Amino acid sequence: MSGKNHRKEIITGFVIITILAIVILSANHFTQGLGNDQELSEEMIIGSGEGYKGEIVIQIIMEEHNLKGLKAIEFHDTSQVFNEVLKSIEKDLLDGKSLEEIEVITGATDTYHGIIEALEEAFFKLEH
């Protein structure tokens, strides 16, 4: 009997430690998330557009009034196509092209237009 009781105590202790670890890690993740959300709400400049399969939300990343990059917040288009178009647009913008100078990638017209629409909205917010 004492062998079974000892095994139960070990299992119970393991379960309690596991639950505590999950609670602690979740609390830490939750509080870190709160800090990040506060920072993002102050600096997040986003715009949205309509892509091939739904809404596209893009964040423009600025540092000291200079564009540093683009980040996809939400999209429903095919990942490979979307990422290719976004990277191409980001490269062109970082190379100094305006939104009007960026060429459409063949086969991804709706994705391209959705990203451009989102960027136009974000840049408009940035200017105003």
DSSP states of 43-97: H-EEEEEE-SSSEEEEEEEEETTEEEEEEEEE--S-HHHHHHHHHHHHHHHHTT-
CA distances (Å), origin 94, targets 90, 99, 111: 6, 11, 20
- Note the pLDDT of residue 28: 47
- Residues 6 or more apart from 106 whose CB is under 8 A from it? none
pLDDT digits (tens, 9 = 90+) for 37-90: 434 433 579 999 999 999 999 999 988 888 999 999 999 999 999 999 999 999
20 or 66, which is more confident?
Answer: 66
Q: Are 77 and 52 in contact (CB under 8 A)?
A: yes
- Note the pLDDT of residue 1: 52
